């Protein structure tokens, strides 16, 4: 455990080209020992390529990969002591659960006498104790994914790589597994790099989230920082449910949106023309209990969408700009929503007034 607990991973200026395609463009990333880092981005943004470079399946065109003090850029996958879990489990259907989990031990020529205990320990970790002799076909999707996890952990790797491991599961099971993976991570203390295109999953599970776009690392931050302080319009619109509105600089700490001047608690980016990024839940219908510093906007409700646990309210400002906000589904909050056609005042705290470059 100790050696593993001290092992971080660094990627220095990694790039990967496939002919004219730049799959990964000068990415540097330091992952702390024991950290859970997600790689988040749309399809084709370079997540799997970056994971492949860490795992040794993809040779970078330039740059290097380090585990602790060791340069592993050209080390083959089986010499890296890395556990791997893919979306489609990649279990061997003709082998039992126990044989599947023991497979990495066999591949590594681990002394056979210790296999049974290691397999039992790994299965206990994923709460499948006693499943050794079951067939893969007898297991549910969630159980198969747990077997794949046990197989990735059985040789106590320093680093575990996961490429969209839950995306084949239905929503409910996926959420259960997210919580289990988080718990497992705490118990194991291993470093985990986790690929997902699901922003909510990344926010839920990670110590830090690295956002990729067109092969470039755009921002890496804690979930809270990423959500509250996106660095640009791409991150702001990829995370959460943001509306981007054209605004103009109005001094050092304010922007003009139509007729309204909105103050921000954060430094403004350079430039005259800027974008205000507003997450739906950060706009609040004015209940009179806000501080004097709060930004207020008058608008007219155009549509109210009932969505179960919450309602989405669409409205337009005087100049026709549309905005939207969320109200919780409880009746107390629902009574505050005016009918379509009526006016309302919405409040945006200066802390929640996020301005990004246009």
Kindly give, in sequence order, each residue whose CB lies less than 8 Å from that of residue 79, ignoring residues fewer than 6 positions away.
Answer: 56, 72
Please, which of residues 18-47 interact with Mg ion by CB under 5 A? Answer: 47
Separation CA 107–CA 42 (nearest Å): 34
Helix ranges restricted to H, 65-126: 97-107, 115-125
Q: Which does 21 bind (CB under 5 to 8 A by kind): ligand ADP, Mg ion, none?
A: ligand ADP
143-166 CB burial, b ≥16 within 10 A, e <16: bbbbbbbbbbbbbebbbbbbbbbb
Q: How far is the CB of 49 from ligand ADP (least distance, A)?
A: 3
Q: Which does 49 bind (CB under 5 to 8 A by kind): ligand ADP, Mg ion, none?
A: ligand ADP
Residue whose entry in the numeric block shows the structure tokens 């556990």: 83
3-state secondary structure of 214: coil
Using alpha carbons, list the distances in angstroms from residue 198 to 87, 171, 209, 224.
13, 12, 11, 16
Q: How far is the CB of 99 from ligand ADP (least distance, A)?
A: 30
Binding-residue total with Mg ion (CB under 5 A): 2
Q: Which is nearer to ligand ADP, 44 or 141 (CB)?
A: 44
**Angle at Cα 201 formed by Cα 196 and Cα 205, nearest 5°?**
105
Separation CA 118–CA 121 (nearest Å): 5
8-state DSSP, 54: H
Instruction: Give burial (CB, 10 Å; 0-12/13-18/19+) of 290.
Output: middle
Q: How far is the CB of 53 from Mg ion (least distance, A)?
A: 13
What's the token pair of residue 138? 């007898």
Q: Is 90 left (phi over 0), alpha (psi -120 to 50) or beta?
A: left
Q: Which is nearer to ligand ADP, 43 or 332 (CB)?
A: 43
Please, which of residues 119-138 interact with Mg ion by CB under 5 A? Answer: none
Q: Which is nearer to ligand ADP, 48 or 280 (CB)?
A: 48
Q: Which is nearer to ligand ADP, 48 or 178 (CB)?
A: 48
Q: Choose among 28, 15, 22: nearest CA to 218.
A: 28
Q: Which is nearer to ligand ADP, 143 or 214 (CB)?
A: 214
Does residue 191 interact with Mg ion by CB under 5 A?
no
Q: How far is the CB of 229 from ligand ADP (least distance, A)?
A: 24
Q: Which residues bind ligand ADP (CB under 6 A)?
A: 18, 21, 23, 41, 43-49
**Binding segment for Mg ion among 48-56, 102-110, 124-132, 143-151 (CB under 5 A)?**
48-56
Using alpha carbons, list the distances in angstroms from residue 177 to 126, 138, 189, 213, 307.
10, 19, 18, 27, 25
Q: How far is the CB of 176 from Mg ion (least distance, A)?
A: 23
Q: Beta strand pairing status for 191-196 and 36-40?
A: parallel
Q: How far is the CB of 43 from Mg ion (least distance, A)?
A: 7
Q: Which is nearer to ligand ADP, 19 or 267 (CB)?
A: 19
Q: Which does 41 bind (CB under 5 to 8 A by kind): ligand ADP, Mg ion, none?
A: ligand ADP
Q: Which does 81 bind (CB under 5 to 8 A by kind): ligand ADP, Mg ion, none?
A: none
Q: How far is the CB of 59 from ligand ADP (least distance, A)?
A: 11
Q: Is the dihedral of CA 169, 174, 176, 177 positive or negative?
A: positive
Q: How far is the CB of 323 from ligand ADP (least distance, A)?
A: 31
Of these, 7, 48, 158, 353, which contacts Mg ion (CB under 5 A)? 48
Q: Which is nearer to ligand ADP, 7 or 49 (CB)?
A: 49
Q: Which is nearer to ligand ADP, 45 or 310 (CB)?
A: 45
Residues at the interface with Mg ion (CB under 5 A): 47-48
């Amino acid at each position: 455990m100790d050696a593993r607990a001290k092992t971080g991973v660094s990627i220095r200026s990694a790039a990967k080209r496939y002919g004219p395609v730049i799959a990964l463009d000068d990415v540097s990333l330091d992952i702390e020992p024991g950290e859970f880092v997600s790689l988040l981005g749309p399809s084709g943004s370079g997540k799997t390529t970056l994971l492949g470079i860490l795992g040794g399946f993809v040779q970078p065109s330039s740059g290097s990969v380090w585990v602790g003090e060791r340069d592993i850029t050209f080390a083959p996958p089986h010499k890296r002591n890395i556990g791997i879990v893919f979306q489609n489990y990649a279990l061997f259907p003709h082998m039992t659960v126990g044989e599947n989990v023991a497979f990495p031990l066999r591949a590594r020529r681990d002394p056979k006498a210790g296999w049974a205990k290691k397999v039992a320990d790994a299965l206990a970790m994923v709460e499948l104790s006693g499943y050794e002799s079951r067939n893969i076909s007898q297991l549910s999707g969630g159980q198969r994914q747990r077997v794949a996890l046990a197989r990735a952990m059985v040789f106590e790797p320093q680093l575990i790589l996961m490429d969209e491991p839950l995306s084949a599961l239905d929503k409910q099971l996926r959420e259960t597994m997210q919580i289990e993976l988080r718990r497992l991570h705490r118990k194991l203390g291993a470093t985990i790099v986790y690929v997902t295109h699901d922003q909510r999953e990344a926010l839920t599970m990670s110590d830090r989230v690295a956002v990729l776009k067109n092969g470039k690392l755009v921002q890496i931050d804690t979930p809270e920082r990423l959500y509250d302080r996106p660095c640009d319009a791409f991150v702001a619109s990829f995370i959460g449910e943001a509306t981007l509105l054209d605004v103009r600089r109005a001094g050092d700490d304010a922007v003009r949106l139509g007729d309204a001047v909105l103050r921000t608690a954060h430094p403004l980016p350079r430039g005259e023309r800027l974008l205000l990024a507003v997450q739906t839940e950060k706009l609040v219908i004015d209940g009179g209990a806000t501080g004097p510093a709060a930004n207020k906007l008058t608008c007219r409700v155009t549509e109210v969408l009932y969505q179960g646990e919450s309602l989405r309210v669409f409205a337009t400002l005087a100049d026709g700009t549309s905005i939207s906000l969320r109200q919780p589904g409880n009746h107390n909050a629902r009574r505050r929503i005016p009918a379509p056609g009526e006016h309302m005042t919405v409040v945006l705290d200066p802390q929640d007034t996020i301005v990004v470059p246009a």
